[in-house]
Amino acid sequence: MQISHSRRVIDTNILINHWRRMSQNANWDQVTRVTVHLWADRLIKMESSNLILTPIGIEFLCGFTYHLEMQFAKDFLLKFQFADGGEIRSEDWSNALSLAERIPQNQKRRQLGDCLIASICKRLRLLISTADINFPRS
């Protein structure tokens, strides 16, 4: 896989929205591993990045309820590079806790995954590409 030169991480909501758009009219009898790889390639081209983080990959997989779709989702993720290398450090958890303890001006609840993702992005000096207007900023 080609290494991304982008410093932007694709958030879970973008992965999910893209998957839904691509799979919405899919004939699952004809979907193959190649099909979902093409879906991933399309998103990577649109976002100009193939970077995700471990919590993003896990959140993405949590949404699937059928074995076949789960396998295709795992195949889809193979096209992405995990910028954190699967490593979540104690400092990531500490920073995530600090983000969770901040009450935003809009008083919206924070999400564990978002706080952890923001913390890892801060450590790795990455930007997050997200559709979530309430995503915590460090």
What is the domain partition of the chain in residue ranges? 8-82, 90-129
Give the pLDDT confidence score for residue 1 in this predicted structure: 47
Q: What's the mean pLDDT when you consider all of the chain?
A: 91
Mean pLDDT of all residues in 51-56: 97
Give the pLDDT confidence score for residue 3 in this predicted structure: 46
Mean pLDDT of all residues in 56-81: 96
25: tokens are 């009219």
Mean pLDDT of all residues in 45-50: 96
Alpha helices, DSSP H only, in the chain? 12-23, 33-47, 54-62, 67-77, 90-101, 112-124
Residues 6+ apart with CB under 8 A from 47: 6, 8, 10, 14, 129
DSSP label at residue 134:
T
Does 4 score more than 80 pLDDT?
A: no
Q: What percent of the chain has pLDDT over 70?
A: 95
Q: Say what the alpha-carbon torsion angle 41, 66, 135, 93 is, to the nearest 10 degrees.
A: -100
Q: Is residue 74 exposed (0-12), middle (13-18) or buried (19+ Cβ within 10 Å)?
A: middle
